[in-house]
């Protein structure tokens, strides 16, 4: 189950929910808190909870694959804002908006981030590289996903949204000769349902 840093106690603690099957997530209106709230919502959905996002419409955030909220106001089990690190972003200069999402996910949400144009360039290249790999795996016969890699990645996310810890898991998956390409494809897609990087963007296009 997802555990998050509690500023009141100074500890990482399991979510306390008003209802056992629903998690209500509110967020401040800035881009990074909205991205973190979206990530919490996706992790909760993976755990078969019904996530309800509570925040105002934010077109800039939607470009980063932050799904629109279900509500604009109301009580929440989790409020995302004060614990999120400060964030400074350069101009995208025409780069894929999801390169920004990737660059932020490779930094822990509680750390301050000052991304440079070079950081975004590298993130854009990395995003294309992952999409190319996924598109290649998609050409192979379908296989069941690898549960061990999924569980390891989700365990990192459950531990205070350790998104930087997910990408080494994906890299080991890519390099694992013992996992069939079709299984790599299904595993990557399962994790991308949480990461929200549109890793299937190049499937059928190479």
pLDDT tens-digit map of 3-59: 999 988 999 999 989 999 999 999 988 999 999 999 999 999 999 999 999 999 999
Q: Which residues contact 152 (CB under 8 A, 6 or more apart)?
A: 169
Structure tokens at 30: 């800035």
The reply to whether 201 falls in a domain is no
Range of the domain at 128: 120-195
What CATH number did the domain enclosing 187 receive? 1.20.120
Q: Is residue 133 part of a domain?
A: yes
Residues 72 and 18 grouped into a single domain: yes
Q: Are 26 and 54 in contact (CB under 8 A)?
A: yes
pLDDT, averaged across the chain:
95
Look at residues 84, 111, 141 and tell me which one is the last residue of a structural domain.
Answer: 84
Taking residues 161-165, report their average pLDDT.
Answer: 98
Task: Identify the domain boundary among 68, 84, 100.
Answer: 84
pLDDT at 149 over 90: yes
Q: Is 166 exposed, middle or buried (0-12, 13-18, 19+ CB in 10 A)?
A: buried
- What integer pLDDT is reported at residue 104 of this predicted model? 97
Is 191 within the bounds of a domain? Answer: yes
Q: Give the count of domains, the chain.
A: 2
pTM of the full structure: 0.95
């Amino acid at each position: 189950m997802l555990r998050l840093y509690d500023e009141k106690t100074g500890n990482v603690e399991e979510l306390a929910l008003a209802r056992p099957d629903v998690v209500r997530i509110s967020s401040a209106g800035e881009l990074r808190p909205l991205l973190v709230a979206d990530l919490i919502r996706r992790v909760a959905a993976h755990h078969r909870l019904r996530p309800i996002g509570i925040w105002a419409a934010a077109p800039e955030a939607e470009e980063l694959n932050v799904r629109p909220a279900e509500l604009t106001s109301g009580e929440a089990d989790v409020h995302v804002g004060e614990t999120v690190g400060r964030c400074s972003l350069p101009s995208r200069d025409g780069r894929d908006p999801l390169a920004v999402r990737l660059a932020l996910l490779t930094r822990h949400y509680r750390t301050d981030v000052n991304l440079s144009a070079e950081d975004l360039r590298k993130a854009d290249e990395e995003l294309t590289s992952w999409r190319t790999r996924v598109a290649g795996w998609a050409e192979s016969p379908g296989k069941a996903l690898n549960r061990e890699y999924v569980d390891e990645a989700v365990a990192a996310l459950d531990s205070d949204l350790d998104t930087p810890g997910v990408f080494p898991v994906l890299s080991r998956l890519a390099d694992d000769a013992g996992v069939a390409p079709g299984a790599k494809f299904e595993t990557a897609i399962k994790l991308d349902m949480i990461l929200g990087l549109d890793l299937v963007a190049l499937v059928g296009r190479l």
